[in-house]
A and B are shown apart, each in its own frame.
Chain A
Amino acid sequence: DQQVKQNSPSLSVQEGRISILNCDYTNSMFDYFLWYKKYPAEGPTFLISISSIKDKNEDGRFTVFLNKSAKHLSLHIVPSQPGDSAVYFCAAPTNDYKLSFGAGTTVTVRA
């Protein structure tokens, strides 16, 4: 049973606009979340993370928001650029440094 869910398999956005990617989780014990970005034929790379003691973490054009009561987090990319076209995975550590991943959202940024 997936503990981390990304219910939108794909997202298409105009260059310069905001991309919003959503992620839901079922385990209220999760206290840390990560976003990974993956280009075709490459391995995932770490993008941004958030601890449950915060409700927002920002890094340049990328901001992650956490709503613990709703067990929901979102990744905002502003402004979106063509190089942001990739698959984005939401993940949470379970134990022993194991990560539980969502199914991923494919973002396409249109010029």
Chain B
Amino acid sequence: NAGVTQTPKFQVLKTGQSMTLQCAQDMNHEYMSWYRQDPGMGLRLIHYSVGAGITDQGEVPNGYNVSRSTTEDFPLRLLSAAPSQTSVYFCASSPGTDTQYFGPGTRLTVL
């Protein structure tokens, strides 16, 4: 049981490039979400999903897309990377309770 896994661990992009951050969970959780962590701002919700085929925007969705074709996977796409998207990204899943289980994070730098 691996829990929540994220790849890659580190990534450097140039402004304007696109990429996908991968997230997978093996706990059969319906609820999944993406957060970004920035200094002095805690974790802010980007997008979330309450089940396969259902996604919605969180607090800071601009510049990001998500899809949820399976219960297990919830990829986050950066369409055209900007320096403001330099951050640490965490994926989380939940069985439908208030407790969420987080992955180890992806540290992204946009030059």
**B1-18 interface (Cβ within 8 A of A):** 4
Contact B42 A43 (CB under 8 A): no
Contact A43 B105 (CB under 8 A): yes
Asked, given contacts A9-B40, A43-B4, whether A99 binds B45 with beta carbons under 8 Å apart, the answer is yes
In the complex, A93→B92 CA distance in Å? 14
A93, closest chain B residue (CB): B98
Interface residue B26 (Cβ < 8 Å from any Cβ of A): no
B50 — which chain A residues lie within 8 A by C-beta?
96-97
Contact A89 B98 (CB under 8 A): no
Q: Which among B35, B41, B100, B105 is the interface contact of A103 at CB below 8 angstroms?
A: B41
Task: Encode contact with A along B18-48: 1 for CB under 8 Å, 0 otherwise.
Answer: 0000000000000101010000111111001
In the complex, A45→B33 CA distance in Å? 15
B84 — which chain A residues lie within 8 A by C-beta?
none
| A interface SS class | loop
Q: How far does the Cβ of B61 sit from chain A's closest Cβ, in whole Å?
A: 12
Asked, given contacts A89-B42, A98-B58, whether A43 binds B102 with beta carbons under 8 Å apart, the answer is yes
Contact residues on A (Cβ < 8 Å of other chain), bracket: 20 to 34
Task: Encode contact with B along A35-47: 1 for CB under 8 Å, 0 otherwise.
Answer: 0100001111110
Asked, given contacts A43-B102, A49-B98, whether A96 binds B48 with beta carbons under 8 Å apart, the answer is yes
Interface residue A101 (Cβ < 8 Å from any Cβ of B): yes
Contact A101 B48 (CB under 8 A): no
10 closest cross-chain pairs (CB), A and B: A43-B102, A101-B42, A101-B43, A103-B42, A93-B98, A44-B102, A46-B99, A43-B104, A97-B31, A43-B103
Contact B42 A104 (CB under 8 A): yes
Interface residue A32 (Cβ < 8 Å from any Cβ of B): yes
Task: Encode contact with A along B68-111: 1 for CB under 8 Å, 0 otherwise.
Answer: 00000000000000000000001010101111111111000000
A9 — which chain B residues lie within 8 A by C-beta?
40
Q: How far does the Cβ of B8 sit from chain A's closest Cβ, in whole Å?
A: 13
